[in-house]
Structure 1
Amino acid sequence: MTRKIAAVALLSWTLFHFQCNELFAAPTGGDYASYVNPMVGTDFHGHTFPGAAYPFGMIQLSPDTRPKTGDWDGCSGYHYSDEYIYGFSHTHLSGTGCDDLCDILLMPVRDYKGGLDNSFYRSRFSHGNETAEPGFYKIFLDTPRVSARVTVGRRIGLHEYSYEGEGSKQLIIDLKHRDQLRGSRIAQVDDYCVEGYRISKSWADNQHEHFFILFDQPISEFKAYGNEGALISFGGKSNTVTARVSLSSVSEDNARENLLSEGAASSINRIAPRAEAMPGFEFMREQARAEWNSYLSKIEVSGGSEEQLTTFYTALYHTAIHPSLLSDANGEYRGMDGQVHNTEGKFDRYTVFSIWDTFRALHPLFTLIERDRTLDFLKTFQSIYDEGGKLPIWELNGYETNCMIGFNSVSVIVDAFVKGIDGFDYAKMFEAMVESSKKHEFGLDSFYRDGAVLADHEHESVSKTLEYAYDCWCIWRMANQIQQYGQNDSYDIIADEYYAYAQQWRSIFDPSTGFMRPRLNGRWLTPFDPREVNNHFTEANSWQYSFFVPQDIYGHIEALGGPEKYIARLDGLFTANSQTTGRTQSDITGLIGQYAHGNEPSHHIPYLYNFAGQPWKTQERVREILTTLYTSAPDGLCGNEDCGQMSAWYVMSALGIYDVCPGSGQLSLTSPLFDYAVIHLENGKDFSISAPGAAEGKLYISSASLDGNAYSKSWIDHSDIMAGKSLIFKLSDKAVKNSDGSSRAFGIAEEDRPVSKMEQWIITAPSIDIENDVINGPATVRINNITWGGYSEYAIVSTEEADRLIAGEIGTGVNFQRYRNSFTIDESCTILAHNVANGQLSAMTRTDISRVKREMSIDIQSRYNPQYNAGGDEGLIDGRRGNENWRTGGWQGYQDTDFTAIVDLGSVKDISLIGAGFCQDARSWIWMPRYVEFYVASEDKEFRKVGRIDSSTDPEDYEVQTHDISLSLSNSDGSAIRYIKVFAKNFGTIPEWHPGHGGEGFIFIDEIWVK
């Protein structure tokens, strides 16, 4: 719907705008959809799809050019570089890094005899014959000579296939397309209707899709391919066939009712519907476009170039693909427990919550333009908790994938609550927040017990510590807000607890380097390189995660030595060499120095300059990203779209506002990209942003006013936006770094900076410094107190005593002594240490020391992946075993090579057993060796084979598991042995049944032992 420009716009700006309207564009006639290019993100690593979608709708009807799962750049089912279309399926993910969906494939064919072999029914196509618009997609399929058009409603997809020339009119329905089929059915209902279901496993473990299809031409032949699909022939005279397809997670009957809910005539036969009683293709197409224009018009921008407008409105379009509608027209849906539930008309249930990504900008955007729908999202969260026992992490079609980290639903909840979105049971929701934070999973036990997630307890420990700390702040903030509603004092107790947890980022901040650093066995991980991408960070490195302290940015600034040093560290991030070290991480893209805009952990960082009093650097970096890392071309996204987050960043930043710390209610400011923008709020008010000269390239904010009053703050409160105020920026070509005497410079004074500060409550645990935790002689130990003030105490105990103490099985009888100087150890033991300050004790630091006799040595003749080194060569004979969580670093990994190692026993011995431990995690490309061979030799090194053990583990078993492969030796075979050789045959090239087919498998080994 066309909306009038806000009355608060100043006449001077209006005059400027009309003088420049020949240079700069604005949407006309309310057709914002004309500025949307759905092809953006379909190339490079954007992972979007070009087909027809409805705002937040149930169906995403799009062509599939990638027929198999396990193809990272094919996660959406489509990639711009491809030359074949395999058909049109009805569910798609927009911009994810994991693949799923692409359910219920339809493909037109002629005179077809190929069965369900997609190599026969696929068709070549040309981008020159391709049209993509909001709610509409068109392509000419070269092989069958068919023009295909598709459009959508809220719960329906409409196909139109026009067959050129002579030949039969046929359609393939393929239910086994893409992911693993667990169950299916397809049946002809009558001359015009087909129904069935598909149960599949991929990212979501047990996804149900029931379907109902209504054709406008009579079916002349229905040839079923078992329950996996069908070939349908049509006998009507028209060369055009339309198919209306509706879905349901519950049943075929519900799918039919969903179809009828989309504008069916009141006289329609609800059991045997006919197409003539349903809206036609053009009506549906226009309706979809109208819905998109209604959504897109919520934010009007003008004064930019055609390229900028297309990039902006395409980004805004991509913010409304997900979350997607799950509940049927009658309110039913299949929940987290696999059971059918009903919303009872109280809300719409949604799905596809990529919250680790979207809590950062997408959901804050929704608190401005989709507040009513946000309430439905919150009610969806509550229902997910009620059915599954925890709030969503990464929910997909009623299944918790547990992908990514944190319990970031709490951020979405508290951000909405702080911004005045209510209408839900906040006491019940708060209970869900607390309970979800206390699950015994993903390193949470270590986080609460040890003051941080320790690297020897959980992989991605640094990232998890930082995310958990912010999430705990969100729970504190929610408790604090609820208290304002007059609730009981129990909220104060919980608030205090989580306020302390929110500061535990300090436990992994290493003052000696200024970086967030993993803590392994009580020690700082060594060697340490902030550029290294490894299993201690989530899709990032220390450079990219060290700035994630949104709840306590002032505390982080202080920890780095003050604003100047903080600014220098930020500058260093953006100017560092862009080369990362460690493993290759496909998500790390869009690099400016070590800043990686292609992945979410970096997204808030350009705005951090505001917090340190140099807002012009925020303005520079944000504008650089807007203009260099986003375009309107198919490769116009520098990384995964991630369900709208990448685009939401662009939308918010182009407006000049960004929520660095969702839940705070404060939005950081920067120079807008457009001369003028207005956000039409659901409360009927308009918030306008004027920045004359922005479209000409003016970058720096010299001054600002809010509702006509001088405004020097580099942030704005959400309430000012909701009040419909007018924000006007005066822009300059030069950075304004000082006041001019007549007014205060924008954002420089401490009182004008955004606020993110916590009073320090916690005492951080010390680190223990020892060169190696496996020793073969005297070793020096130092204890480093990383708490400001206080002192350290330590105790030397046995490993068993340490286990019992930490488990609470023994009291405080352990004798701790004050640490004053370094000390020496020469035996296996455990060192326990804590800090003491202001009468408080920190969490306990624990370091286990192993004293080994270095009689044995090892010569590894294969090359292990440096990411998986088990502590080096001798890690295979150090007496420590890797566990099932191989990401914590206890294993050596060998890819695309067999394993060979020779162990020198140090002297001739009689032996009776040789063995080695191996790990399998087939999902992660790690398999048991195909077989292991054992060889022995005396002093002469003339090796003889004494046995071979074939693996008995099923390579298709996706459970993570460890197994020992060992060989007992006879007296003759084991007599007078000095050397042992172990050979393990790599699994090799990954076969077709695996998503990673064509890649090379890993062997993971630890440990080798001899008796």
Structure 2
Amino acid sequence: MRRLLALFTIVAAAGLVPAPAASAVTIDDPAQYVNPFVGTKPGGPDFGHGGGAGNTYPGANAPFGMLQWSPDTVTKQAGGYAYDDNRIRGFSLTHISGPGCDDYGNIPFLPILGNGLVSHYPFSHANEQASPGTYSVTFDNGLKTELAADTRGGVARFTYPGTGPASLLIDVAKALNNATGAFTVSGNTISGYSDGGGFCGAGNKYRVHFSATFDRPITGYDTPTTTQPILHFDTSAGRTVTARLGISFVSVANATANRTAEIGTRTFEQVRDASRADWNALLGRIAVGGGTDIQRRVFYTALYHSLLFPQTFNDVNGQYVGFDKVVHTTESGRNVYATYSGWDVYRSQLPLIGLLDDKIASDIGQSLLRQVEQSGYLDRWTLANGGTGVMVGDPLSIIGSTMYAFGGTNFDATGFLQRAVAASDSHAQRPGHVQYFQHGYVPNGTGGVWGPAATSLEYYSADFALSALARRLGQTTVANDLLSKAQGWRNLANNGWIQHRNADGSFGAFDPASDANYVEGNGAQYAWMVPFNHAGLFGVMGGNAGAQAKLDTFFTKLNAGPHEPYAYLGNEPSANTPWAYVYAGAPAKAQDVVRRALLTLYKATPDGEAGNDDLGQMSAWAVWAALGMYPQVPGRSELVLASPQFSEITIRRGNGATISVSAPGASDSARYVQSLTVNGAASSKPWLSEAFVAAGGSLAFTLGTSPSAWGSAPADAPPSYDVTVTPGASGPIVGLGAKCVDVANSSPADGTAVQLFTCNGSTAQRWTVRSDHSLSALGKCLDVVHSGMTDGAKVQLWTCNRTNAQVWVPQPNGSLRNPNSGRCLDLPNSNTADGTRLQIWTCNGTNAQGWAVP
């Protein structure tokens, strides 16, 4: 397998200004702090979203491994292993870490005493061990199984008690969902395949092949069914049987080649130790000093769970099965990565991978490009070489953009952008896309759409991420168009909330505690899901003060589930919300909430997660929380700051950059930032720029036990991204015929008509651009009469009131779009006669809708 870089040594900063080098802090074996059992037992309530456990598995896995060789208990839990069940029914070759639904669990191996069929054996946790790369258990009958994994292969060592019959049951038609399969026994080798699928009831299908050879002859085998061979071994001269195995999603021949290349004749100990070394190299990319033993265990276990997926999908010869079900060969030096719980992992887990390894990030970007090339669209939740259609939004578009932002630029990003944008105009990638582009949101009742309000918000984030990628690639027109679409969230802003909306423009009854029209969350939890434009969002909440008040109430509870109007940090929709405080001028409150959530929802024990880990998403959130920084904005790499949990941290990025953190005296009570220096210079900004993240540098925190005003000045808030306006700019709005938008008779009275008139430089034609995207003249705002939303609704002057009827967003083609109606400011019939009253009309790009704004 690809050998990772050697373990790194920390050189941390100590002191304040400047931050001199401190004595080196070394963690020689970070794997010692990993507990793979974390997440295998419920750590929170079951709110109906996959249970209250992490749904992880404890078995043997290499970083991003194709093989996940792990025990399955009789009691089903989506990861395959339920800690409270003491019965193991087999050790299967494939697993998903932390899903909310069943899949994988293919081809379980179960050593048995005797010659007959056995369904399971009991065991005690006292006789079970697991650490990165290896797992072992001794059943109550004395039969011992030890597993060790490389990327595409592994070794199993079965030790049989006594001298009685020693057998091994392999079920090629067994998986966590329905499966079929076939096998062949030849000499001391068994090979075959298993067909599985059906994730969350979807129609996905995959085939996984295996080839296992044993260190002693197979003396015979029985077949209780045609897919269940029971292999027999003569252990009279030695009680141990060792299996060396390879898997492949292409063919048995490739599984054999993978086994030969990665395992060969290596012993169990050699495979185990090499896997641990690989884990230590990758885990060592983040080295921490200080803290407690429990904090280190929580941290490195979370980091471990963050680095299991996506899984390597190509064989050692480069071959893989694409989304078109055709065998392809990847480019030399590249890996293909598969299995993305996109809706989950775009928020925290994939940005963490982007931070740590630009090569893997580049290969992920290229893998996503191949997916859209081969299938014609980007799915929301992919498994092996197929989409499942599970969850909502357009998350893989975000992931590809984010990988590029974090430095994973070695892929065809231009091709990815082109295909992702083109495929967004398809039902497969974006259900409800017709309505989304027509209205600027997905209306209630749109067919084939789960949670229209949530889906709309996810599409806005995807459009923003793609716009950020387009801008990096120099495609300004595409970037501006996508950025404009992303600001469609204003269509759903009403009375200080983000609300679901009907196709006729009306807002239905709204209860922040209701999950109707949302996805695994409610209106209160989705109110914050405009991570790229908190400033604009807070503007419709009454400014920073209003946003802070809402956040204070929201965090009355940290994990309230989907039916209360509070945070639900055991699930993804609330993941970014604690960091919203930083944008609202209250970074100390973010520091408090982030630390309380980390201490409350994460532990170093089997019940250490309060919700599904979802392929590392929830674990990655804990990593970021402990680091005291977070990737808030999809498609960008700025990091918003809270406070570090450890006194010293060094992050070694794959590009060679180093981020060093010094926080003397850091503790769970000393969680409040009093001051910060960045590269030796005092900084009041509670965020790190993309340039700093790319190049690395040093951070030196002074922490205390009481909140401070550090970072709270409005000028220090992290950037929000909106359609470009220049607040305070003032002048005429010029349209067709070089005439101006004019307040009739220069009257400031509410209801005065707004018309086209010869430009004359009067105050009735002097419009001021306001930060909330309204336009004011004579002290009042350009307004759609009665908040109309139909073609022909007139515009007027009215008291500025921050309603959506007064929002006008410039479009790349020069039109002014009113998000409330989804229509544009329009000159009826292109009539340029003085006094022609203006209206709104379906946006059409004609000259009648072209306006030059100051």
TM value normalised by structure 2: 0.82
Secondary structure of 1:159's partner?
strand
Matched, 1:502 2:486: yes
CA distance in 1, matches of 2:373, 2:530: 31
Deviation at 1:521, TM superposition (A): 4.6
Q: 2:435 aligns with which of 407, 430, 446?
A: 446
Matched, 1:139 2:137: yes
Secondary structure of 2:389's partner?
coil
Q: 1:219-265 CA deviation, whole Å, 9 max, x = no partner?
A: 0112234541201001242111111221111111111000001153x
CA distance in 1, matches of 2:467, 2:560: 39
What pairs with 1:299-310 in structure 2 (closer than 5 Å)?
299-310=286-297
Amino acid at match of 2:101: C
8 A Cα contact 1:9 1:688, kept in partner: no
What pairs with 1:139-218 in structure 2 (closer than 5 Å)?
139-143=137-141, 145-181=142-178, 183-190=180-187, 192-203=188-199, 205-218=204-217
Q: 1:826-856 CA deviation, whole Å, 9 max, x = no partner?
A: xxxxxxx99996974647969xxxxxxxxxx
Matched, 1:315 2:312: no
CA distance in 1, matches of 2:292, 2:632: 28
- The answer for the alignment partner of 1:931 in structure 2 is none
Provide closer, same or farther for how the CA distance between residues 672 and 248 of structure 1 changes in structure 2, counting only shifts above 3 A: same
Amino acid at match of 2:159: S
Provide closer, same or farther for how the CA distance between residues 749 and 206 of structure 1 changes in structure 2, counting only shifts above 3 A: same
Q: Greater CA deviation, 411-420 or 151-160?
A: 411-420
Deviation at 1:554, TM superposition (A): 0.5
8 A Cα contact 1:449 1:843, kept in partner: no
- The answer for the alignment partner of 1:547 in structure 2 is 528
- The answer for the alignment partner of 1:466 in structure 2 is 457
Deviation at 1:794, TM superposition (A): 9.6
8 A Cα contact 2:441 2:488, kept in partner: yes
Deviation at 1:668, TM superposition (A): 0.5
Deviation at 1:338, TM superposition (A): 1.2
Q: 2:699 aligns with which of 694, 708, 727?
A: 727
8 A Cα contact 2:12 2:650, kept in partner: no
- The answer for the alignment partner of 1:747 in structure 2 is 711
Provide closer, same or farther for how the CA distance between residues 176 and 815 of structure 1 changes in structure 2, counting only shifts above 3 A: closer
CA distance in 1, matches of 2:562, 2:147: 45
Deviation at 1:3, TM superposition (A): 2.6
Q: 2:349 aligns with which of 362, 382, 400?
A: 362
Provide closer, same or farther for how the CA distance between residues 346 and 436 of structure 1 changes in structure 2, counting only shifts above 3 A: farther
8 A Cα contact 2:222 2:230, kept in partner: yes
Deviation at 1:627, TM superposition (A): 1.3
What pairs with 1:531-680 in structure 2 (closer than 5 Å)?
531-534=513-516, 536-575=517-556, 594-680=566-652
Provide closer, same or farther for how the CA distance between residues 27 and 171 of structure 1 changes in structure 2, counting only shifts above 3 A: farther
Long gaps (5+) in structure 1: 115-119, 265-277, 484-490, 583-590, 738-745, 762-785, 797-805, 807-813, 821-832, 847-1011
Amino acid at match of 1:522: D
Q: 2:690 aligns with which of 708, 712, 718?
A: 718
Matched, 1:91 2:94: yes
Deviation at 1:624, TM superposition (A): 0.6
Deviation at 1:15, TM superposition (A): 12
Q: 1:464-522 CA deviation, whole Å, 9 max, x = no partner?
A: 11110111111221221111xxxxxxx333223212210111111112xx221111353
Provide closer, same or farther for how the CA distance between residues 760 and 566 of structure 1 changes in structure 2, counting only shifts above 3 A: farther
CA distance in 1, matches of 2:298, 2:791: 65
| Higher share of residues assigned strand | 1
Amino acid at match of 1:104: I
CA distance in 2, matches of 1:369, 1:31: 18
Matched, 1:60 2:32: no
- The answer for the alignment partner of 1:246 in structure 2 is 246
Secondary structure of 2:699's partner?
strand
Q: 1:756 aligns with which of 716, 720, 724?
A: 720
Provide closer, same or farther for how the CA distance between residues 310 and 837 of structure 1 changes in structure 2, counting only shifts above 3 A: closer
Secondary structure of 2:706's partner?
coil
Matched, 1:687 2:659: yes
Q: 1:386-411 CA deviation, whole Å, 9 max, x = no partner?
A: 11112342110101011111112222
- The answer for the alignment partner of 1:113 in structure 2 is 116
Amino acid at match of 2:717: R
Amino acid at match of 2:608: G
- The answer for the alignment partner of 1:528 in structure 2 is 510
CA distance in 1, matches of 2:467, 2:395: 14
- The answer for the alignment partner of 1:874 in structure 2 is none
8 A Cα contact 1:658 1:667, kept in partner: yes
Amino acid at match of 1:449: Q
8 A Cα contact 1:59 1:154, kept in partner: yes
Percentage of identical aligned residues: 32
CA distance in 2, matches of 1:14, 1:499: 39
Provide closer, same or farther for how the CA distance between residues 455 and 344 of structure 1 changes in structure 2, counting only shifts above 3 A: same
Amino acid at match of 1:47: N
Long gaps (5+) in structure 2: 1-5, 43-52, 726-771, 775-780, 797-803, 810-814, 823-854
Deviation at 1:319, TM superposition (A): 0.9
CA distance in 1, matches of 2:431, 2:386: 18
Deviation at 1:125, TM superposition (A): 1.0
CA distance in 1, matches of 2:582, 2:409: 31
Deviation at 1:418, TM superposition (A): 2.9
Deviation at 1:757, TM superposition (A): 3.3
RMSD of equivalent CA atoms = 2.8
Deviation at 1:427, TM superposition (A): 1.9
Deviation at 1:324, TM superposition (A): 0.6
Amino acid at match of 1:755: P
Secondary structure of 2:408's partner?
coil
Provide closer, same or farther for how the CA distance between residues 76 and 598 of structure 1 changes in structure 2, counting only shifts above 3 A: same
Provide closer, same or farther for how the CA distance between residues 13 and 655 of structure 1 changes in structure 2, counting only shifts above 3 A: farther
Q: 1:11-58 CA deviation, whole Å, 9 max, x = no partner?
A: 99999999xx9xxxx764x11111111111110011000111101111
8 A Cα contact 2:808 2:819, kept in partner: no
Rg larger in 1 or in 2?
Answer: 1
Secondary structure of 1:527's partner?
coil
CA distance in 1, matches of 2:18, 2:452: 51
Amino acid at match of 2:33: Y
Provide closer, same or farther for how the CA distance between residues 5 and 173 of structure 1 changes in structure 2, counting only shifts above 3 A: same
Secondary structure of 1:500's partner?
helix
Amino acid at match of 1:699: R
8 A Cα contact 2:512 2:522, kept in partner: yes
Deviation at 1:339, TM superposition (A): 1.3
- The answer for the alignment partner of 2:399 in structure 1 is 412
Deviation at 1:10, TM superposition (A): 5.0
8 A Cα contact 2:16 2:700, kept in partner: no
Secondary structure of 1:647's partner?
helix
Provide closer, same or farther for how the CA distance between residues 795 and 633 of structure 1 changes in structure 2, counting only shifts above 3 A: closer
Amino acid at match of 1:245: L
Deviation at 1:594, TM superposition (A): 1.0
- The answer for the alignment partner of 1:285 in structure 2 is 272
Deviation at 1:581, TM superposition (A): 7.2
- The answer for the alignment partner of 1:773 in structure 2 is none
8 A Cα contact 2:100 2:612, kept in partner: yes
8 A Cα contact 1:90 1:157, kept in partner: no
CA distance in 2, matches of 1:595, 1:525: 24
Amino acid at match of 2:58: P
TM value normalised by structure 1: 0.69
How many aligned positions are there?
735
Secondary structure of 1:692's partner?
coil
8 A Cα contact 2:500 2:508, kept in partner: no
- The answer for the alignment partner of 2:256 in structure 1 is 256
Provide closer, same or farther for how the CA distance between residues 561 and 88 of structure 1 changes in structure 2, counting only shifts above 3 A: same
Provide closer, same or farther for how the CA distance between residues 182 and 132 of structure 1 changes in structure 2, counting only shifts above 3 A: closer
Amino acid at match of 1:424: F
- The answer for the alignment partner of 2:234 in structure 1 is 235
- The answer for the alignment partner of 2:123 in structure 1 is 125
